[in-house]
Structure 1
Amino acid sequence: MNLSLRFNMSFKETRRWLAAALAFAMIMTSAAGVAYAAEDTVTSIEFSYDSDDYDNNTSSLKTFVEDDKVNLTVFANISGYSNKKEVTSDVTWKSSNTALVKVEKGVLTGVGKGTATISATYKGFTISIKAASDYVYDSVTLMQNDGITAPVSKDIEIGQPLAFALNGTKGSNTKTVTTDAVWSTSNSAVANVDEGVITLLGVGTTTITAKLKGKSDSITLNVTSPYKSITIDSGASGNLVQLEIGSDDTVLTASAAPKTGGTEPVTDIAKWVSANEKITTVKKGVVTPVSAGKTTITVSYKGVSATIDVVVRAAYQSIKLSPEKEYHMLLQDSPLQIKAEVQDNNSTITTVTDLAEWTSSNVVVATVSKGLVYPKAVGTTKITASHKGVSRSIEITVYPSISELSIDSETIDGYKDISGDLPKVMATTFDGTKIDVSKIVVWSSSSENIAMIKDGQWTAKALGEATLTASLQGYKAEVKLTVHVKPLKLIADVKDLSIILGKDTPLPTVKVINEDGEEEDVSSRIKWKTTSEDIVIKETTMKGLDVASLTLTATYLTKSVSVKIKVEEEIIKLVVDPISIELYPGKTKSVKVTGYYKSGKQISLGSKMNWEVGNSGVATVSTTSVKGVAVGTTKITGSYQGKMVTVPVVVVPKLKSLLLSSKSVQLSAGGTYSAKLQANFTTGSPANVTENAVWTSSKASVATVIDGKITALSKGSASIKATYAGKSVTIRVTVK
């Protein structure tokens, strides 16, 4: 093959495209009037290809490695049809040697030099054709500028020019193909290449390769520097450059020492790099501080480099803004002047309001210039002042115009020396919207002897009342602060309380015991709270929403007390046992109470009745028992779900002994004797219990007895017994 073949091949692709288009048109034309059945009978298959792709001398298709591809088309002859069916994409393709020629859907690609057999199988028919693959060039060779073949390796110094050409040879013909080749470098840090032109970048070794149509050639470059070293001069001793943010730029110079001796200034032609441009930047040796930190500056020139450390510090310790906390202002307010001061490392304070850089995070809300803040719209923004590496921000909130002020609380309770947060203040805007203006109102006290206001809190100073007033834009809202005696303890009238599900029940009564010993009902000033969702607390009542056991906490000033609440079904009846109680002093008797729900269920309530006794001098009552104290009568009263029960209580003295008026008596038949019975009690007070005792006769035929009166009936003897309070005594009666 001669080079004219490559020229002819430039037309080859065009002819191939035209042939393919013509074949496609013929197929489409013939197919337009033909509809093949899904199960047509194939009688044979045949190849179709561009005649320019076939070499008659070798009787094979010709392909070239990494060059144009060859297209094979397969047509099937169908029984009963004169037109052929194109089946290329349905064919099973195979190459006898894929290391030489590959085939995919009829497209042949040259891989290596040699011949392979390409076969196509369809519907039981197989056809084959030879395909020869070759290289466009037998070899490619790197050439130096002097026309001499490039060596395997070459030593060169950075700065020296270097370029290669690439020749492609086929047989005895050679052609320059430099621009057609693909050039690459194995180490881009040492050198890069563009169409044979080499740019030397750093010291080291790299391999330059030119590749074309499956052939390649390469050269190894050993790159060195023409200089021994390079140095950086900062104008100061040591290898450290120290800068401050906002200070003037520092100029570094660089000198390179050639291997031949001497030095050369290379500041303007060397490459300067900052390791962290957020700290410093550098250009032609000029270093500019950006922010505080430590970094390095590196200079490099023709394979030599040097590095110097750079430290950038803030010029000041800190910056302070006045006002320094969040600030709240109205849209129609005059601009707010913020003052900025800095403290340097010598603790000297300097005002830098006009020198600082001021920014607003939301210029829609407010703008700022030299610390002067202009409110522009309702919202919040952050105003930041920055100066030489230090910065500080303040949050600015802009409020709309208002038409009314209001405070949820009407009164505040406190005691001497206690402090509390001022109440929330709401404002009504032009469109009726409610906004919280607590941070922008100005507070005053009608009597600073009673209550003082400072930093959003009130402090009670003395007993009495003071009116606290919140003012804004000419509008005012007031709350009354009452300073009480210091509370010591809160006491609720009940510890446990049952309430009926779904019914409003009054909140418990709460009293406070003050420091001066006085008791005071503070029920109307109590704040009730609970963590349960099964109850609703109203102003003076509560309502259970579901059966539950929960705790209510009452708070007054700094004291609190808890009440256990049980939300349950309604109880329709209470039954107490016993219905009356009699006992001795010092003795105890239990009381049982049974409750009956609407559903018919029962519950024991003795310990939940909140018992009270009418006279604690006669008896006392605990959760489930009564104890006698002294002889007398009283009653205990308890309630549950508003239903009351009362149990009479009688405390009687305990009997010590019984004494009859006589131990024996003699009577004649028909005679009588009135015996007297005396009861001696532990209280020391004897009593005549003759009529209260039970009298019996051991022999009624001899003598009978009624309320101590003995009547003799016939001759004989009998024992008369008197029984009282569990004790008995007898008298011997003899009838003559």
Structure 2
Amino acid sequence: MNRMKWVLRGLLALVITLTAVIPASAWAAAGDITSIEITGGSSKMMSVGETASYQVMAAVEGFDNKQDVTGGVTWSTSNSAVVTITKGKVKAIAAGEAVIIAQVDGVKAQVAVQVQDKIKSIKASPKSYSFVKGNEGALPKVSITRANGKEEDVTSDIVWTVSNNLAVLENGKIKGVTPGRVLLQGKYGSTTVKVPVVVTDIITKVEITPTAVQLNLKKSKALKVTGTYSNGKKVNLSKSIVWTSSNPGVAAVKNGSVKALTEGQATLTGTYQNQTVTVTVTVVPTLQKLIMGQKSLVLSPQSSITLGVMAKYDTGKTTMVTSSAVWSSSKPGVASVTNGKIVAVSKGKTIVSAKWGNKKVTIPVTVK
């Protein structure tokens, strides 16, 4: 009898021991759900107006891999004023916090959702890129502005992709691989920012025409810059080249055109792919007219007189140009002229002219 008692006690101890070491799930029937999880993590950030879809994966007795049970989930939200959820699709309604709960056969999982004000705008800096093939640059910084006016730096939260294989993303950088155009796209939630990228071939030579320019004040002139690729193909770089001016107060370049600002001289240096070109710009005032000291002359034969000619500019500046002007007489037999000196020859009338630059001045001369 005692022996039987010890045997029963031993069997009872074995049952208790097995119950302690075998998980409760082991007692579940094949096909029972033992746990579920909502994909995407235990928390989510959204903006007002955004939507997102959830997937629920379950650990099922008898299956080695987790099963998709999204279609059989009963959904609920702790705050329907903040988010609503229908058939796994959650929509952000207003700023605030809520918990989304998924339930299948009595097994639950949840995810915390934080909703912020709607994104009004998103911008990237820089707004565009131009790379020589093989070169690379850091990905843009990105900021958003919400409807309440608050600006946020979301650079670290952006998911970047490129539209084709002309460029690749590597270690937080974008690298140009093949010449052409590619679109760099950054996604923040459901908001996307697009940054155009141009990948160019290697330039072996850069040329500019003209190499010297003379301009009047406030006038402009386009500069033509031509680049030659390693394959011999030429390209217009007029608006792509980066310019610096030795005297920016005299001349400056914008959109491939040089503009005269004040009188003087400046040297413009253009750079593209480590190739440089230079152009000398001289800014001069505009000649308005030539002025003589007298309006008419009456001379006696064999007498003479010397006249001066003054150039007047749009700046108000004047300068004597007597010796450099081109002089002439319509009737040299009446009166001759040399460097402003008029000599009466014989009785009659003539017109003495002085030409300088693009202007001309005349004076009637009578010899009697």
Q: Secondary structure of the equivalent of 1:543? A: strand
CA contact (8 A) 2:290 2:359 kept: no
Distance 1:651 1:480 in 2: 65
Q: 2:325 corresponds to which residue?
A: 696
The answer to whether residue 185 in structure 2 is matched with residue 553 in structure 1 is yes
Deviation, 1:604, is 1.1
* Cα deviation, residue 485, structure 1: 4.4
* Among 230, 237, 241, the residue aligned to 1:606: 237
Query: Residue type matched to 2:361 in 1?
Result: T
Tell me: CA distance 1:478–1:517, structure 2 relative to 1, closer, same or farther (3 Å).
Answer: closer
> Which AA in structure 1 matches 2:327?
S
1:417 alignment counterpart: 49
Alpha-carbon distance in structure 1 between the residues aligned to 2:324 and 2:147: 64
Q: For residues 215 and 193 of structure 2, what CA distance do their matches in structure 1 show?
A: 36
Query: Aligned equivalents of 1:528 and 1:334: distance in 2?
Result: 44
Shift of 1:658: 1.6
Structure 1 residues 485 and 417, CA, compared in 2 at 3 Å: closer, same or farther? closer
Deviation at 1:626, TM superposition (A): 3.6
Q: Specify the alignment match of 2:309 in structure 1.
A: 675
AA of the residue aligned to 2:356: T
For residues 149-298 of structure 1, the aligned pairs below 5 Å read: none
Contact 1:697–1:718 (8 Å) recurs in 2? no
Q: Is the contact made by 1:702 and 1:735 (CA closer than 8 Å) also made in structure 2?
A: no
Partner of 1:326: none
In the TM superposition, 1:124-143 aligns within 5 A as none
* Counterpart AA for 1:593: V
Mapped to 2, the partners of 1:676 and 1:721 lie a distance apart of 10
**What letter matches 1:530 in structure 2?**
V
Question: For 1:536, which of 168, 173, 196 is the aligned residue?
Answer: 168
Whether contact under 8 Å (1:500, 1:568) holds in the other structure is yes
String of CA shifts for 1:75-113, please: whole Å, max 9, x gaps: xxxxxxxxxxxxxxxxxxxxxxxxxxxxxxxxxxxxxxx
Question: Structure 1 pair 547/490, CA: closer, same or farther in 2 (3 Å)?
Answer: same
- Tell me by how many angstroms 1:504 deviates: 2.4
Q: What amino acid maps onto 1:703 in structure 2?
A: T
The separation in 2 between residues aligned to 1:647 and 1:523, in whole angstroms, is 41
Which residue does 1:486 correspond to in 2? 119
Deviation at 1:537, TM superposition (A): 1.8
Q: In the superposition, relative to structure 1, how do residues 571 and 687 fare at CA in structure 2: closer, same or farther (>3 Å)?
A: same
Deviation at 1:486, TM superposition (A): 2.6
Q: Structure 2: how far apart are the matches of 1:632 and 1:530?
A: 47
Residue 16 of structure 2: aligned partner: none
Contact 2:57/2:68 (<8 A) preserved: yes
Q: Which amino acid aligns with 2:161?
A: K
The answer to whether the Cα contact below 8 Å between 1:406 and 1:477 also exists between their aligned partners in 2 is no
* CA distance 1:493–1:543, shift in 2 (3 Å): closer
TM-score for the superposition, normalised by structure 1: 0.31
Aligned equivalents of 1:609, 1:603: Cα separation in 2: 14
> For the residues of structure 2 that align with 1:719 and 1:486, how far apart are their CA atoms?
78
Residues 383-406 of structure 1: CA deviation (Å, up to 9, x unaligned): xxxxxxxxxxxxx76569x9xx99
For the pair 1:592 / 2:221, whether they are aligned, the reply is no
1:728 Cα offset (Å):
0.9
Report the Cα offset of residue 672 of structure 1.
5.4
Q: Structure 1 457/576 Cα, relative in aligned 2: closer, same or farther at 3 Å?
A: farther
Q: Provide the aligned length of Structure 1 versus Structure 2.
A: 313
Aligned amino acid, residue 417 of structure 1? G
Alpha-carbon contact 2:311-2:321 (below 8 Å) kept? no
CA contact (8 A) 1:585 1:651 kept: yes
Deviations 1:502-553 (A, max 9, x none): 3322335556566578887655544332342343224631123444543333
Residue equivalent to 1:721: 354
Q: In structure 2, what residue type is equivalent to 1:687?
A: G
CA displacement 1:271-313 (0-9 Å, x = unmatched) = xxxxxxxxxxxxxxxxxxxxxxxxxxxxxxxxxxxxxxxxxxx
SS at match of 2:134: coil
Amino acid at match of 2:136: D
C-alpha change, 1:522 and 1:568, in structure 2 (3 Å) is same
Q: Distance in 1 between matches of 2:319 and 2:52?
A: 75
Alpha-carbon contact 1:703-1:718 (below 8 Å) kept:
no
Output the CA distance in 1 between the equivalents of 2:76 and 2:141: 35
Contact (CA 8 Å) 2:207, 2:225: kept in 1 or not?
yes
What are the within-5 Å matches in structure 2 for residues 612-631 of structure 1? 621-622=254-255, 626=257
The one-letter amino acid paired with 1:528 is W
* CA-CA distance at 1:609 after TM superposition: 1.8
Task: For residue 677 of structure 1, report the CA deviation from its aligned partner.
Answer: 2.4
Q: Report the counterpart of residue 243 of structure 1 in structure 2.
A: none
Q: Post-superposition shift, 1:567?
A: 3.4
Within 2, Cα distance between the matches of 1:596 and 1:521?
A: 41
- How does 1:69-468 map onto structure 2 within 5 Å? 332=24, 374-376=28-30, 412=45, 414-421=46-53, 452=83, 454=85, 456=88, 459-462=91-94
In 2: Cα distance, 1:463 partner to 1:564 partner? 33
The TM-score with structure 2 as length reference comes to 0.53
The residue identity in structure 2 corresponding to 1:537 is: L
Match of 2:289 in 1: 658
Give the superposed CA RMSD. Answer: 6.3
Task: State, as a whole percentage, how many aligned pairs show the same letter.
Answer: 21
* CA deviation profile, 1:52-96 (whole Å, cap 9, x unmatched): xxxxxxxxxxxxxxxxxxxxxxxxxxxxxxxxxxxxxxxxxxxxx
AA partner of residue 197 (structure 2): I
Specify the structure having the higher radius of gyration (Cα). 1
Paired letter, 1:529:
T
Q: Tell me: CA distance 1:613–1:437, structure 2 relative to 1, closer, same or farther (3 Å).
A: farther
* Alpha-carbon contact 2:48-2:93 (below 8 Å) kept: yes
Q: CA deviation at 1:660?
A: 1.3
Counterpart of 2:325 in 1: which secondary structure? strand
C-alpha distance in 2 between matches for 1:673 and 1:528: 78
Quote the Cα distance in structure 1 between the aligned partners of 2:133 and 2:122: 31
Residues 641, 699 of structure 1: CA spacing in aligned structure 2 closer, same or farther, 3 A cutoff? Answer: closer
Instruction: Pick closer, same or farther for the CA change 1:528–1:729 going to 2, 3 Å.
Output: same
Return the alpha-carbon distance in structure 1 between the equivalents of residues 275 and 154 of structure 2. 26
Distance 1:453 1:679 in 2: 76
Which of 133, 151, 160 aligns to 1:501? It is 133
Alpha carbons of structure 1 residues 589 and 442: separation in structure 2 relative to 1, 3 Å = farther
State whether residues 546 and 567 of structure 1, in contact with CA within 8 Å, keep that contact through their aligned partners in structure 2.
Answer: yes
Q: 1:515 to 1:469 in 2, by over 3 A?
A: closer
Query: What is the rounded CA distance, in whole Å, between the counterparts of 1:416 and 1:645 in structure 2?
Result: 53
Query: Alpha-carbon deviation of 1:434?
Result: 11
2:3 paired residue number: none
Matched with 1:730 is: 361
Structure showing greater relative contact order (alpha-carbon pairs closer than 8 Å, 6 or more residues apart): 2
Q: Residues 735 and 551 from structure 1, CA distance in 2 versus in 1: closer, same or farther, beyond 3 angstroms?
A: same
Q: Which residue number in structure 1 is paired with residue 316 of structure 2?
A: 687
Give the C-alpha shift of residue 729 in structure 1.
1.7
Answer yes or no: is the 8 Å Cα contact 2:83–2:93 preserved in 1.
yes
Distance in 2 separating the partners of 1:438 and 1:635: 73
Structure 2 unpaired stretches of 5+: 1-22, 59-63, 103-108, 330-335
